[in-house]
Amino acid sequence: MVTASAAFGTWGSDRQATPNDGADASVVGGPWQDAPGVPLSPCSCGWAVRRALGGTVALADRSGRETGWVTSSGRSSVFAGFRLPQEVIAVAVRWYLRYGLSYRDVEELLAERGITVDHVTIYRWVQRFTVEFIEAARPCRHVPGDRWFADETYVKVAGRWTYLYRAIDQHGQVIDVLLSQRRDLAAARRFFARALRAGTIPAEVTTDRAPAYPRVLDELIPSAMHTVERYANNPVEADHGRLKARLRPMRGLKRHRSARIISIGHAFVQNLRRGHYELATDFPAHHRIRAAFDQLAITI
């Protein structure tokens, strides 16, 4: 078997330096790649990554234009200082978020391509870089539609059931997700307050009959029509199933932070697949995620 150092040169230990104290460690090509390099599109997001602060990460946290040209910030790459090149890290993160794989599955797939890396390292990559990819792609994201479908589902974290609030629009774009230990008025208010940062004031919001929703919508979106008809919320309930299918191969979630990262990462990949970003738009749908991750890896 060819080790990573043999395939890409000597890179030292997995984390010899801080993310900002080295040059961009990148290698074009290599036995691990599943396709040739991808050229940048006009909206390839090479902007200054805004680091997520606090314990939660919002998919919708924008105050400016959603789609347009993005220029490079000139900052050091966030991949600088890592033993393996950015292409390997990007592929590992993409595989984990896109497919129903465990960390050990990703470890095995990389080993088949000559890359020796531990599954714990892959876990750390997913936790570290998922937010970076989402933030880098944020300027290229489409503005959500004006019809929202909101609901909460259940996710077991550390042996306890927690609530995952999710909302999609009429086009299937995941607007935002929020993990909460409680299903109450405060959690619903926090979720809709975050979702409204997307810049769209919905004309209609469809929910279930949970008593917290009418109060929150009257407070935050008084102009929206609130729909609670039976079966009206089927679109978001069906979308929950895709997330549950992704969580099924895992051996449970041990930490709330991991659950949040995986939830927003899954939503990000779903939105990429459905064409809700101005990224890799000139590629066929089945190559869109790969091309988008390749573009983003170069720019962050």
| Ramachandran sector of residue 7 (left: φ over 0; alpha: ψ -120 to 50; beta: rest) | alpha
Same domain, 154 and 214: yes
Judge whether 263 lies within some domain: no
127-170: per-residue pLDDT in tens? 999 999 999 999 999 999 999 999 999 999 988 999 999 999 99
**Sign for the pseudo-dihedral over CA of 166, 191, 289, 132:** negative
Judge whether 261 lies within some domain: no
pLDDT at position 248 is 83
What is the rounded distance in angstroms from the CA atom of residue 10 to the CA atom of residue 20? 20
Helix or strand holding residue 122 (H, E): helix 119-137
**Single-letter amino acid, residue 273:** R
Same domain, 84 and 154: no
Judge whether 135 lies within some domain: yes
Same domain, 9 and 117: yes
Specify the pTM: 0.76
pLDDT at position 254 is 87
Judge whether 232 lies within some domain: yes
Judge whether 69 lies within some domain: yes
Read off the pLDDT of each residue in 227-244 and give the average, rounded to a whole number. 93
pLDDT at position 75 is 61
Environment class of 223 (CB within 10 Å of its CB; exposed 0-12, middle 13-18, buried 19+)? exposed
Instruction: Report the share of the chain in percent with pLDDT over 90.
Output: 63
Judge whether 36 lies within some domain: yes
Same domain, 11 and 136: yes
List the domain range (segments joined by +) for residue 76: 4-141+277-299
pLDDT at position 185 is 96
Same domain, 227 and 287: no
Same domain, 63 and 15: yes
Is residue 244 within 8 A of residue 153, CB to CB? The reply is yes
Same domain, 119 and 160: no
CATH label of the domain that carries residue 166: 3.30.420.10
Average pLDDT, the chain: 80
Same domain, 154 and 116: no
Q: How confident is the model at residue 74 (pLDDT cuts 50, 70, 90)?
A: low
Same domain, 229 and 114: no
Contacts of 234 (CB under 8 A, 6+ apart): none
| Total domains in the fold of the chain | 2
